[in-house]
Amino acid sequence: MLKNAFLMLLSLAIAIGGGGASVWYALKIQDGVGAIRIGQWTAFPDIGTPAADPYSKARVAREGVLALGRAEGLSFVAENDAAGDQLKRECTYRIEGGFPTARFWTLYAADQSLGVVETGKPRLAALQSYEVLRQADNSVIISVGHHPMQGNWLLTDGSGRMYFVLTFYDTPIASSTGLSDVSLPRIVKAGCDA
């Protein structure tokens, strides 16, 4: 009798503990279903829409996100550079290449929660397309680092993991047909502060 009770408790513990923990884990990892990857950049075009999968819906409810609508824009997040290494706040990077069609775009350096990196200076860790210098072929080269650099400079500060968030506003790529042949800029590591 006691053995039976023990086995029942064991089953219940595994069911409730395992079920709960697996949901918590699935919601914690950034990656997920419905992601679209272009180079190092990831977007979730369906997040925050009624068509989203149950995992995205749960994440939206838990984090209180109000996702951008299709007519507003589309956000891409990068967590690795072109070599596949994690982005670090103490390193310098070059973001170079062409940008897809949009009315304008913004780029910012983000921390784990995807909020903008605090620089402690009046200059934000953010850039937008109206203020960048362009190459002759309309591509853009952006230098990311702690110290001022010539050309387009995205200021970062601190140390630890970093993410880049690139958002295109009023863009045809937000409709899923436009996403197939989009190319996004490359992220190349230039060096790290020791």
Partner 1 sequence: MRNVLAALRRLFHAVLLGLVGAGIVHIVVLLLVPEFSERDAWSRLSMASDLYRMNRLDAEAGGAPVVKSVDPLFYATACRFDLEEGMVRIKAPGNVPFWSVSVYDRNGHNIYSFNDHTATGGKLDAVVLTPAQMIDVRKDLPEDLQGAIFVEAPIDEGIFVIRSFVPDDSWKPIVSRFLDESSCELQDS
- From 52-60, 78-86, 87-95, 181-189, give the range in contact with partner 1 by CB under 8 A: 52-60
Q: Assess 14 for contact with partner 1 (CB under 8 A).
A: yes
Q: Assess 19 for contact with partner 1 (CB under 8 A).
A: yes
- From 16-24, 37-45, 155-163, 185-193, give the range in contact with partner 1 by CB under 8 A: 16-24
Residue 53, class by beta-carbon neighbours within 10 Å (0-12 exposed, 13-18 middle, 19+ buried)? middle
Tokens of 101: 């069609």
Q: Interface residues for partner 1 in 151-180 (CB under 8 A)?
A: 165, 167, 169-170
Residue 58 CB partners (closer than 8 Å, separation 6+): 23, 27
Task: Give 96's strand partners.
Answer: 141, 186
Residue 88 CB partners (closer than 8 Å, separation 6+): 159, 160, 161, 162, 192
In the bound state with partner 1, the residue whose beta carbon lies nearer, of 54 and 84, is: 54
Tell me which DSSP letter residue 34 carries.
T
The dihedral formed by the CA atoms of 146, 110, 42 and 182, expressed in degrees to the nearest 10: -60
- From 31-39, 85-93, 109-117, 140-148, give the range in contact with partner 1 by CB under 8 A: 109-117
From residue 110 to residue 139, the character string flagging contacts with partner 1 as x (rule: CB under 8 A) and all else as - is: ---xxxx-------xxx-x-xx--------
Q: Assess 22 for contact with partner 1 (CB under 8 A).
A: yes
How far apart (Å, rounded) are the C-alpha atoms in residues 53 and 109?
Answer: 28
Tokens of 138: 């309309």
- Residues in the site for partner 1, rule: CB under 8 A? 3, 7-8, 10-20, 22-23, 26-27, 48-50, 52, 54-55, 57-58, 60-73, 103-104, 106, 108, 113-116, 124-126, 128, 130-131, 165, 167, 169-170
